[in-house]
Structure 1
Amino acid sequence: MKALNLGILAHVDAGKTSLTERLLYAAGVIDAVGSVDDGSTQTDSLALERQRGITIKSAVVSFALGDVTVNLIDTPGHPDFIAEVERVLGVLDGAVLVVSAVEGVQAQTRILMRTLQRLRIPTLIFVNKIDRAGARHESLLCDLAAKLSPSVVAMGATVDRGTPDAAFTPYGVSDPAFGLSLVELLAEHDDRWLETFVENENALSGDALWAGLAEQTRGALVHPVYFGSAITGAGTQPLIAGIRELLPAPEGDREAPVVGSVFKVERGPAGEKIAYVRMFSGELRTRDRVRFGAGREAKVTAIRVFDAGTTTTSHSVAAGQIGQLWGLTEVRIGDELTTGPVADCESKRESAFFAPPTLETVVVPARASDRGNLQSALSQLAEQDPLINLRQDDVRQETSVSLYGEVQKEVVQTTLATEYGLDVSFRETTTIHIERLDGIGAAVEFNKVDPNPFLATIGLRVEPAAPGAGVSFELEVELGSMPFAFIKAVEDTVHETLRQGLYGWEIPDARVVMTHSGYSARQSHAHAVFDKSMSSTAGDFRLLTPLVLTTALRRAGTTVHEPMHRFQLELPTDAVRGVLAALAKLRAIPRVPALDQDVSVLEGEIPASAVHQLEQQLPALTRGEGVLESAFERYQPVIGAVPRRERTDHDPLNRREYLLHVLRRV
């Protein structure tokens, strides 16, 4: 049986979870459609999800459509939980993007559609809530074409919009007007359709047009649009037909080497780790040993697969399926699984679909005695959401977490209280900056040459790298010049040290080259055992690397950069002047406004630290009529006072204090 891994994505409150409930009901998986407001939905299982009526964690549920098993993944819609969406995108065969017929295309809708197109994920669009007052059809189609993709095609007409009797009537492929619109759309991506139509329009049968639509939909070239209501069920049957006939359900090769991707990790009732894996090829069985990550290996002790709205125990999970695995105690989100050499396990996922979080805050336990338990609890939360990015300050006994927004902070607080019994508060949210290298810098310290107290020779050169390139470590010394464990110790410490640059912020992009190496070979006094004071160890290289690297960084110089968001603001024309004045105070960089008689559009860039202030001021400035969309765009150098972040290490920038801490002497 073929499997289709389908994602349901949308801006918050567009009706994504309600649509999931309706699809499960139509497939006979549940006996009644759950309500988000009542907290009775199948996929929102967390208490906080039911309480707030939003999706926080992605959830998987399965149902059958003919000979296709659909693994449906319901994802969060709130932008604070975009990281949860990111982890799902790499395992999808297709997607349904939900848009509200009343609110239309919203900020998150645009971000999601751009990402789906970049990843070439076949996507259907479902316009929900046609039973609501203010529901639109033609004007909304124009918005979809203008704001999401010009390659959209309406698959039917609506009647009685804005009433409980609203309905959706699918077009037939034999309908001349619909057939002509399909020919025009298909011809935009393949000239042969237009040539055939010009030569003999009767040669294009309804079956041929439908086959062409399916081919281009599966190629992520066109996007069929369905209208309906998840609450009343209108339009859901045509959507189900579209899912079955227009989206790809690949048949994976069970005989190929095992390759799978972990996209979610959670803890079971007994605290055991459960890994959600999408299998791309091969068949993984219970008791198989799998390799993953940086040389880690473990035995699969149990497997469950998704079936008819629940999970069932299975002896294997095969290509195309999604399964839950037990026994992988060290597995992490994003790990690729294989039973062969890790090098054979080519990553099926593109990383960093969305920008990293740009905010952080310190988590403070109400009771000082809870510090240890808090660290343990936050570590478990970081397993489920790596972008929380814990930052432990052992000097001040503080833990920081990275965030996308204030709602995420509330979720972390509630989760710690309900699941771990920890009462916490947060300090003021601050913006995460980064540092970029100004130029090239080099430094070297030689073994047994003052002032180097370590039995190691290390020379490093740092060079700027392009934004997004990451940190690379290269050798200009012979690989056999010293034991590989020593070289590995230098490389690992380089990555660790660059998390805190000259001003305390991470240096995410740099090229680091090892230019000198040397060590004292293992030796001892006559008739004595190994003497550490005469022989180099990996610890010598780990402790010396920060001193050499920070010296090279000083010589290269760094500049602190702040995150900038692009924004689009629709507002009454008579409010433009006041809003421009407010933007200037917030250090925004607006472009020339697109002025109209009633409603105008402002676009530009604004520091991430000022977005929340703008959101708070906007209702008063625009009489509540302003609509703001913003998303991370880039980093730019900080103007004015340079912000610093307190260091969490022993500060290799202060050589005397560093040596006192690591050696207890200078």
Structure 2
Amino acid sequence: MSTLNLGILAHVDAGKTSLTERLLHAAGVIDEIGRVDDGNTQTDSLALERRRGITIKSAVVSLAIDGVTVNLIDTPGHSDFIAEVERVLSVLDGAVLVISAVEGVQAQTRVLMRTLRRLRIPTLVFVNKIDRGGARPEHVLKEIAEKLTPAVIPLGAVHAPGTQDARFGPYGAGDAEFTAALAESLADHDDVFLAAYLEGVSREDDGAPVPYHRLRTELAAQTARALVHPVLFGSAITGAGMGALTAGIKELLPTAGGDPEGPVSGTVFKIERGAAGEKAAYVRMFSGTVRTRDRLPFGRDGAGKVTAIGVFDHGSAVPRASVGAGRIGKLWGLGGIRIGDRIGTAHTTDGDQKHFSPPTLETVVLPLDPAEKGALHLALTQLAEQDPLIDLRQDAIRQETSVSLYGEVQKEVIQTTLADDFGVDVIFRETTTLCIERPNRTGAAVEFIGKDPNPFFATVGLRIDPAPAGKGIDFRLEVELGSMPYAFMKAVEDTARDTLTQGMHGWQVRDGVVTLTHSGFDSRLSTAGDFRNLTPLVLMEALRRAGTTVYEPMHRFRLDLPADTHGSVLPLLTRLRAIPETLTGRGASYLLEGDIPAARVHELEQRLPALTRGESLLESAFAHYRPVTGPAPARPRTDHDPLHRKDYLLRVVRRVAG
């Protein structure tokens, strides 16, 4: 049986979880359809998900469609949980993008579709809620073509929209207007098909240049190559259009490939823990087969023995002795495994790439009961294991922990999860913006073994140079690789990377090249610890000489607003330090585009409804970093502060040299 790993994606409240319920019911997996409002759906299993009626964690369920095992992955729609979508993208064979027939294309819809197109993930568009009052299927179809992709192919028409009798009528071979439009659309994307189409037109024998079965075959081929995006309509609540959707999933989306007999290769996209604390890793297999009791390498240098396997089949994961290429499995026994880890050998996917913006906010989490600091740290560590972008930052000096965030809703979820699942009540400090630092110029420093003020049995010389934006931190050698033991070299590199998580102003240093220019050791006395302790002093002195600039994250915004409210919105944008760049008139509305500091986006979202009568549509996403104007903001350090040598040495070696 072939397998299709299918993602269900949407803007929040478009109805994707309800759609998942309807598909499971139609396939006979569940006897009764759950409702998001009632908190009894299959995929929203967290208590908070049921209370709030939103998806927070991605969930996998399985169903069968005409001999194809479809693993449905329901993803969050709220932008605060975009990291969950991030992890799912690398394991998909296809996607269904759900759009509400009432609200139409929304901000998150655009973000998702841009990413799906960029990654060339085969995607069907499903316009949901055609039975709702205010449903505008034709208008939404036009919006999709204008705002998402021009390569849309509607596969049918909606009858009686906005009523309980709304239904979807698929087009067929007898619909001459549809077949002609379909042939022309397909000819736009494939030269071979274009030649066949033109040859058929030139014959003019029966008015059908290309047989209908050939059109459907080509439609499936171009959908699989993400050249076109078929559009279907329906209602997850009434079941209208479900037959056409399931048929479209089976016919138009490609199934998983991979050789079960090949080398083992897969990607971990989700981690969860059971009631007893046991860790289970969700793995998409790209090649090979994993069996219980296999010794499995993962990540950079991890390894573990697989103690149990669950494979998704007809609903949830069921115990199996193995999981092969194309399938999604749950693996137990791999204690140190993390989200994003590769298992087995490498494979050619975009799994290591980041498709959405990084978190740009940070807050300190504090327990209400100071005695629970240890329990809080343990709980946050487990949460970060399930969501690496939480990015814990432990301040050992102040005994505080910071977490990275996408938004205020995510903060609420963390607070509730800590209380419900771990019994730890917490409060948060004010949310702050996550800035970065970049080196201004070249800076270098060196300390030699046996020469004051160096108290360590190590020689380390480092140079830092600026690098182009987005290049990260690169480490290079100007000394012979064999000039000292590899463990010492490794200690310098690892410590240098750790040190640069806090620059001159306390922010992470990005986009630089660190070069080891001098090295030396005493074969009798030197240890890796000497190099780990000396490297921060040398590197931060080099960074001091280079100087750094603090950059703040900027969002690119698109604001659709009524034309008569433009005059009241511009002063607000100015006050929020936004930079409007283009203003386009569109009838009775304006489209305003520009940049705004990430720290001000939340306030803009709060203020806009009152200024625009609730008729504005704001879309924003991280775009770039901009140098901070005025005094550079600083972030408290959480290390031993190598910028202050005397204090650093007292903390590290309890003495000061020289």
8 Å CA contact 1:38–1:50 kept in 2: the answer is: yes
Distance 1:519 1:103 in 2: 67
Distance 1:25 1:345 in 2: 35
SS at match of 2:582: coil
Picking from 471, 475, 478, the partner of 2:480 is: 478
- Structure 1 distance, partners of 2:496, 2:19, is 48
- Whether contact under 8 Å (2:60, 2:316) holds in the other structure is no
Residue 347 of structure 1 deviates from its aligned partner by: 5.6
Kindly report which structure 2 residues correspond to 1:181-330, keeping only aligned pairs within 5 A, or say none.
181-201=181-201, 202-330=208-336
**Aligned match of 2:456:** 454
Contact 1:102 1:129 in 2 (8 A): yes
Q: Which residue matches 1:361?
A: 363
Instruction: Tell me how far apart the structure 2 counterparts of residues 89 and 348 of structure 1 sit (CA, whole Å).
Output: 9
How many Å separate the matches in 2 of 1:127 and 1:346? Answer: 33
**Contact residue 10 and residue 97 of structure 2 kept, 8 A:** yes
The offset of 1:269, in angstroms, is 1.3
C-alpha distance in 2, partners of 1:345/1:519? 40
Question: Is the 1:174–1:206 Cα contact (8 Å) retained in structure 2?
Answer: no
2:330 is paired with a residue whose SS is strand
Name the CA distance, whole Å, in 1 between partners of 2:17 and 2:598. Answer: 30
Task: Give a deviation string over 1:245-297, Cα, whole Å, max 9, x none.
Answer: 10001342111000011000111111011100000000100000011112111
Measure how far apart 1:194 and its partner are.
3.2
Please identify, of 276-285 and 623-632, the stretch whose mean Cα deviation from structure 2 is larger.
623-632
The 3-state SS of whatever aligns with 2:266 is strand
**Could you tell me how far apart the structure 1 residues matched to 2:619 and 2:61 are?**
32
Whole-angstrom distance in 2 between the partners of 1:212 and 1:346:
26
What secondary structure sits across from 1:542 in the alignment?
A: helix
Q: After the TM superposition, which parts of structure 1 deviate over 6 Å for at least 4 consecutive aligned residues?
A: none
1:598-651 per-residue CA deviation (whole Å, 9 max, x = no partner) reads 221211110011111111221222122222111111111001121000000111
d(CA) in 1 for partners of 2:603 and 2:67? 52
**What pairs with 1:548-567 in structure 2 (closer than 5 Å)?**
548-567=538-557
What secondary structure sits across from 2:508 in the alignment?
coil
Match of 1:377 among 376, 379, 382: 379
- Give distance in 1, aligned partners of 2:52 and 2:276: 27
Paired AA for residue 246 in structure 2: I
Give the superposition deviation at 1:482.
Answer: 0.5
Q: Secondary structure at the match of 1:593?
A: strand
1:603 aligns with 2:593: yes
Match status 1:537 vs 2:530: no
1:597/1:123 Cα in 2 relative to 1: closer, same or farther (>3 Å)? closer
* Equivalent of residue 622 in structure 2, options 611, 632, 640: 632
| SS state at 1:133 partner | coil
Q: Partners of 1:388 and 1:611 in 2: how far apart?
A: 20
Paired with 1:505 and 1:139, the residues of 2 have a C-alpha distance of 47
Distance 1:597 1:211 in 2: 41
1:181 Cα deviation (Å)? 1.1
Q: Is the 8 A contact 2:340 2:352 kept in 1?
A: no
Matched AA of 1:59: A
Query: Once the two structures are superposed, what CA deviation does each residue of 1:442-500 show, in whole Å capped at 9, x if it has no partner?
Result: 11111111111111011111112222222111111111111100000011101100100
Alignment correspondent of 1:86? 86
In the alignment, is the contact (CA less than 8 A) between 2:257 and 2:286 conserved in 1? Answer: no
Is contact 1:261–1:348 with CA below 8 Å preserved after alignment?
A: no
Partner residue in 2 for 1:578: 568
TM-score (ref. length: structure 2): 0.97
Deviation, 1:597, is 5.0
Change in CA separation of 1:602 and 1:251 when aligned onto 2, cut-off 3 Å: closer
Query: How far apart in 2 are the matches of 1:311 and 1:570?
Result: 44
- Give the secondary-structure state (helix, strand or coil) at the position aligned to 1:181: helix
Q: Using the TM superposition, give the Cα deviation of residue 193 of structure 1 relative to its aligned residue in structure 2, in angstroms.
A: 2.9
Partner in structure 2 of residue 615 of structure 1: 605
Is the 2:441–2:546 contact (alpha carbons within 8 Å) kept by the matching residues of 1?
Answer: yes
Deviation per CA, 1:488-516, whole angstroms, max 9, x where unpaired?
00111011001000000001322111111
- Aligned amino acid, residue 492 of structure 1: D
Contact 2:268–2:281, Cα closer than 8 Å, also in 1: yes
Answer yes or no: is 1:443 the counterpart of 2:445.
Answer: yes
In 2, the alpha carbon distance for the partners of 1:196 and 1:244 equals 26
Query: Contact 1:173/1:209 (CA < 8 Å) preserved in 2?
Result: no
Counterpart in 2 of 1:498?
A: 500
Name which of 617, 631, 642 aligns with 1:641.
631
Q: How far, CA to CA, are the matches of 2:570 and 2:533 in structure 1? A: 52
| Secondary structure of residue in 1 paired with 2:479 | coil
Unmatched 5+ residue regions in structure 2? 202-207
Task: Confirm or deny: 8 A CA contact 2:198 2:209 kept in the other structure.
Answer: no
**Are 1:655 and 2:645 counterparts?**
yes
Task: Provide the rounded CA distance (Å) in 2 between the counterparts of 1:616 and 1:10.
Answer: 22
Q: Secondary structure at the match of 2:246?
A: helix
The residue type equivalent to 2:215 in the other structure is L
1:510 to 495, 509, 512: 512
SS at match of 2:379: helix
Asked if the contact 2:130/2:233 (under 8 Å) is kept, the reply is: yes
2:484–2:519 contact (8 Å) kept in structure 1: yes
Give the drift of 1:656: 1.1
Is the Cα contact below 8 Å between 1:651 and 1:658 reproduced in 2? yes
Aligned mates of 1:187, 1:553 — CA distance in 2: 57
Aligned-pair CA distance for 1:199: 2.5
Determine the structure 1 residue equivalent to 2:104: 104
Q: For residues 301 and 41 of structure 2, what CA distance do their matches in structure 1 show? A: 40
Q: Deviations over 1:386-415 (max 9, x none)?
A: 000001111111110100000000000000
1:528 — aligned with what? none
Report the counterpart of residue 525 of structure 1 in structure 2. none
Q: Within 1, Cα distance between the matches of 2:147 and 2:513?
A: 39
Say what the alpha-carbon RMSD is for the aligned residues.
1.1
Residues 75-84 or 189-198, more deviating:
189-198
Is contact 2:308–2:331 with CA below 8 Å preserved after alignment?
Answer: yes
* CA distance, structure 1, for counterparts of residue 335 and residue 441 of structure 2: 42
TM-score (norm 1): 0.96
Match in the other structure for 1:166: 166
Give the count of matched residue pairs.
Answer: 650
Query: What CA distance in whole angstroms lies between the structure 2 residues aligned with 1:69 and 1:620?
Result: 48
Partner of 1:40: 40
1:388 to 382, 387, 390: 390
Question: 1 CA distance for matches of 2:599 and 2:157?
Answer: 45
- Within 1, Cα distance between the matches of 2:597 and 2:647? 36
- Structure 1 spans left out of the alignment, 5+ residues: 523-534
Preserved contact between residue 90 and residue 349 of structure 2 (Cα < 8 Å): no
Hey, what's the Cα distance between the residues in 1 that align with 2:484 and 2:342?
32
Q: Residues 337 and 345 of structure 1 are in contact (CA less than 8 Å); yes or no, is this contact kept in structure 2?
A: no
Instruction: Determine helix, strand or coil for the equivalent of 1:629.
Output: strand
The superposition leaves residues 281-314 of structure 1 with CA deviations (integer Å, 9 ceiling, x where unpaired) of 0010000001111211110010011111122110
- Structure-2 separation of matches of 1:605 and 1:623: 23
Find the aligned partners of 1:218 and 1:197 in 2 and give their Cα distance: 20
Amino acid at match of 1:406: E
